[in-house]
Structure 1
Amino acid sequence: MDVTDAPDQRRYEARIDGELAGFTQYRASDRIVTFLHTEVQPGFEGKGVGSALVRGALDDVRAQGKKVRPVCEFVKGYIEKHPDDYGDLVDSAA
């Protein structure tokens, strides 16, 4: 699975063999990436696509030196389940 940023569409995409498996939409500023909505395509649900997608997106945000604001419940839940890995990325004003 490949997770890439598609900034023109303001989302991270997960692709399996070139096919869109899921995406997480965001709004970005110079300092914060706000995750708005995550969706896994039918046929790919229950296969770990959402978790791999969010992990890849959060890792990319960290590499950019930014913080996150998890408005999306899926992203928020993922961070809450992995506080040691991603808790420090949450913007303190979130």
Structure 2
Amino acid sequence: MSGAPEASFTIEHETSDTKGYYRVELNGAKAEMTYSKAGDAMIIIDSTEVPDVMRGQKVGAALVSQAVGDARSAGKKIMPLCPFAKAQFARHSEWHDVLF
């Protein structure tokens, strides 16, 4: 569907008028991807933080993948300013339909 591996964890999503985040909590550790809203049609991924204890579990990729799926559903575009998110978009050409 979105190109990222199946997640074995729950991704939390919260949003406000201007910002939002996707978060995963595992064994007391938190991984988070934050974004800013640019009008009604675009989000800008600002930062992706994954603690060392979660490395290798594809948590960061799952966060970006969730944002891609949500952007598609809402008819929005994504501008990945975060270097990690940019690298994920470079690896997943199937996500380019939402790339700004």
Q: Same fold (TM over 0.5)?
A: yes
Q: For the Cα contact (< 8 Å) 1:38–1:50, is it kept in 2?
A: yes
1:87 to 80, 93, 96: 96
Structure 2 counterpart of 1:46: 56
**Percent of residue pairs identical:** 27
- After superposition, the CA RMSD in angstroms is 1.8
Q: For the Cα contact (< 8 Å) 2:29–2:53, is it kept in 1?
A: no
Structure 1 counterpart of 2:34: 25
SS in 2 for 1:26: strand
1:68-83 correspondence runs (5 A): 68-83=78-93
Runs of 4 or more off by more than 6 Å in structure 1? none
Which letter maps to 1:75? A
1:46 is displaced (CA, Å) by: 1.9
Q: How many residues align?
A: 89
Residues 1:58 and 1:15: Cα distance change in structure 2 (over 3 Å): farther
1:45 is displaced (CA, Å) by: 1.6
After superposition, what is the alpha-carbon deviation per residue over 1:16-74, rounded to whole angstroms, capped at 9, x for unaligned?
A: 47x55311110012010000110012311221111111111211111111000110111
TM-score under structure 1 length normalisation: 0.82
1:90 is displaced (CA, Å) by: 0.9
Structure 1: give runs of 5+ residues left out of the alignment.
Answer: none
Distance 1:55 1:33 in 2: 14
Structure 2: give runs of 5+ residues left out of the alignment.
Answer: 1-8
